[in-house]
Amino acid sequence: MIHVRRLAPKAPRALTAALGLGLLALTASVVPALYRAMDGGAADTLTLAVALPPPPPPAAEAVAPASEWRTVRIASGQTLGSVFADLGLSPRTMHRLLEVPEAKQMASRLQVGSELAFEIGPDGELRGLRFDQDESRRIALAVTEDGVRREVIERPIERRTLVAGGTITSSLFADGARAGLSAPVMLDMVKALQYDIDFAQDLREGDSFQIVYEELWREGERLRDGGVVAVNFVNQGKHYTALRFEHEGRAEFFDLEGRPLRKSFMRTPIEFARLTSGFGARRHPILGRMRMHNGVDYAAPVGTPIFAAGDARVKFAGWQNGYGRTVILDHGNGVTTLYAHMSRLGPHRVGERVRQGQTIGYVGASGLATGPHLHYEFRVNGVHRNPLTVTMPKPEPLKGPALAEFRRATAPALAQLRRLEGTQLAAR
Ligand SMILES: [Zn+2]
């Protein structure tokens, strides 16, 4: 459910582990003082949804004999066919409905808990069926003599912007909760700043933060929290700001100058692993003679996912002598990375693009290996470098029109952060 795999360079393993064990176990320390306010200027707000009439039949049908609506919540093991049978509806009608692409898709992806509303006529025949195609779209099917009529009812999702802030006194997540912030929002904040702050070790009493985040609403009902839009964090007197901005089709966090916070490379392309062999000359564990170890080894259970260390194009995916199942990624600028001894390759083929953090394979012991581990190499212009110490190239900052757009798009959230920070300082 929660993606923590991008936790990277700064000793993230402790944090990753803590998060893995349960968010609330994270014992950084923080506290309240909390300010939470609905944003008045709804600049990012989409148009308000039109209230959707509940399933009951429209008034026009008063003329015809009344039909009855029955809502079915799908239980484990149920299929559309079994629901039809339970309601005494004919399989023929079901097959007519399934000619509608949305209905076919719904039937094939039917999930426990999803709701279907059946309109059943006094004769016991199906008159209509309603279901949600996704969060913002409801499909209404009407069974008529001429066929099945389909209507799409849009249920726009409204994004409301909220701000909250707090001061660290005991536990990051507890203090977040006191500020009205849910664990997913706090986790999103941690992800935004993970490259700069080690939340497992660096937090201090008195650290403070301000967050601008979203809530998703539909038809006047709160659906869930959205993501963090902007965050300001003062850690041991140092200011960190992360601003979300969509660039080249991907929403990412940038600093005030428009430089991506995400680093070009993860230092360790695997989670929950133990470094078992460093870079350099060593006695080969199987061959017995001194040999240069061109990479680093991480012991991990068979099947542990291995991540692309950075955005790349797949250069090789297959078997190599000694290395076993291997993936080589080309990151451009002369940098390639190699991942060996996999039990299984990921889904990507040679030539495909992968993004940092995507799973490219799974730990194994294929090739010349004494036990399951990842052998990881980092090459610059063909020369092997120590992945633990090599200077990683910095990501490119936004420039020109992209930078101008970034400044324009993030200005409102930045202003909200500043206002809240001012309020918090004044309250001290
Ligand atoms: Zn190795």
pLDDT tens, residue by residue, 304-328: 999 999 999 999 999 999 999 999 9
Q: Are residues 146 and 166 in the same domain?
A: no
* Dist. CA 375 → ligand 1 center (Å): 4
Which of 117, 137, 154 lies at the terminal end of a domain, its last residue? 154
- DSSP, collapsed to helix, strand or coil, labels residue 395 as coil
Q: Are residues 256 and 402 in the same domain?
A: yes
Q: What's the one-letter identity of residue 386? A: N
pLDDT tens digits, 173-191? 888 888 889 888 998 998 8
* Dist. CA 367 → ligand 1 center (Å): 11
Q: Are residues 304 and 379 in the same domain?
A: yes
Q: Are residues 246 and 173 in the same domain?
A: yes
* Dist. CA 416 → ligand 1 center (Å): 49
Flag whether 269 is in a domain. Answer: no
Flag whether 147 is in a domain. Answer: yes
Q: Are residues 235 and 174 in the same domain?
A: yes
Position of tokens 């194994």?
364
> What pLDDT band is residue 219 in, cutting at 50, 70 and 90?
confident
Which of 154, 176, 202 lies at the terminal end of a domain, its last residue? 154
* Dist. CA 321 → ligand 1 center (Å): 13
- pTM score of the predicted model: 0.60
* Dist. CA 46 → ligand 1 center (Å): 52
* Dist. CA 265 → ligand 1 center (Å): 19
- DSSP, collapsed to helix, strand or coil, labels residue 394 as coil
pLDDT tens digits, 332-364? 989 999 999 999 999 999 999 999 989 999 999
- 63 versus 375: the higher-pLDDT residue is 375
Domain count along the chain: 4
Q: Are residues 231 and 255 in the same domain?
A: yes
Q: Are residues 145 and 210 in the same domain?
A: no
pLDDT tens digits, 85-97? 999 999 999 999 9
* Dist. CA 354 → ligand 1 center (Å): 23
Q: What whole-number distance in Å separates Cα of residue 255 and Cα of residue 240?
A: 8
Flag whether 197 is in a domain. Answer: yes
Whether 124 has a pLDDT exceeding 50, the answer reads yes
Q: Which helix (H) or strand (E) holds 375?
A: strand 373-380
Flag whether 391 is in a domain. Answer: no
* Dist. CA 394 → ligand 1 center (Å): 26
* Dist. CA 296 → ligand 1 center (Å): 5
Flag whether 63 is in a domain. Answer: no
Other beta carbons less than 10 A from residue 263's beta carbon: 21
- 428 versus 130: the higher-pLDDT residue is 130
Burial of 399 (0-12, 13-18, 19+ CB in 10 A): exposed
Which domain CATH number covers 328? 2.70.70.10
Q: What is the pairing mode between strands 126-134 and 250-254?
A: unpaired
* Dist. CA 391 → ligand 1 center (Å): 20
* Dist. CA 285 → ligand 1 center (Å): 10
Q: Are residues 134 and 217 in the same domain?
A: no
* Dist. CA 417 → ligand 1 center (Å): 47
Q: What is the pLDDT of residue 65?
A: 67
* Dist. CA 339 → ligand 1 center (Å): 9
Q: What is the mean pLDDT of the chain?
A: 83
Given a contact cutoff of 8 angstroms between Cβ atoms, the answer to whether 140 and 31 are in contact is: no
Other beta carbons less than 10 A from residue 358's beta carbon: 16
* Dist. CA 289 → ligand 1 center (Å): 14
- What's the CA angle centered on 78, arms 73 and 82, to 5 degrees? 105
Flag whether 27 is in a domain. Answer: yes
Q: Are residues 374 and 405 in the same domain?
A: no
* Dist. CA 277 → ligand 1 center (Å): 7
CA dihedral 103, 106, 108, 112 (to 10 degrees): -140
Flag whether 176 is in a domain. Answer: yes
Q: What's the one-letter identity of residue 224? A: R
- 154 versus 39: the higher-pLDDT residue is 154
* Dist. CA 36 → ligand 1 center (Å): 51
* Dist. CA 15 → ligand 1 center (Å): 26
Q: What average pLDDT does range 44-68 have in this prediction?
A: 49
Q: Are residues 359 and 415 in the same domain?
A: no
Q: What is the pLDDT of residue 329?
A: 98
Flag whether 120 is in a domain. Answer: yes
Given a contact cutoff of 8 angstroms between Cβ atoms, the answer to whether 317 and 345 are in contact is: yes
Which domain CATH number covers 252? 3.10.450.350
Q: Are residues 164 and 145 in the same domain?
A: no
DSSP of 22-89: -GGG-----EEEEEEEE-SS-TTPPPPPPPPPPSS--GGGGSSPP-EEEEEEPPTT--HHHHHHHTT-
* Dist. CA 293 → ligand 1 center (Å): 6
- 12 versus 248: the higher-pLDDT residue is 248
Q: Which helix (H) or strand (E) holds 413?
A: helix 400-427
Cα–Cα separations (whole angstroms), residue 317 to 239, 344, 356: 43, 10, 17
> What pLDDT band is residue 418 in, cutting at 50, 70 and 90?
very high
Q: What whole-number distance in Å separates Cα of residue 10 and Cα of residue 2?
A: 20
Q: What average pLDDT does range 402-428 have in this prediction?
A: 91
Q: Are residues 141 and 170 in the same domain?
A: no
Q: Which helix (H) or strand (E) holds 155?
A: none
Which residue range forms the structural domain that includes residue 16? Answer: 2-51
Which of 92, 123, 154 lies at the terminal end of a domain, its last residue? 154
* Dist. CA 372 → ligand 1 center (Å): 11
- What's the CA angle centered on 237, arms 419 and 262, to 5 degrees? 80
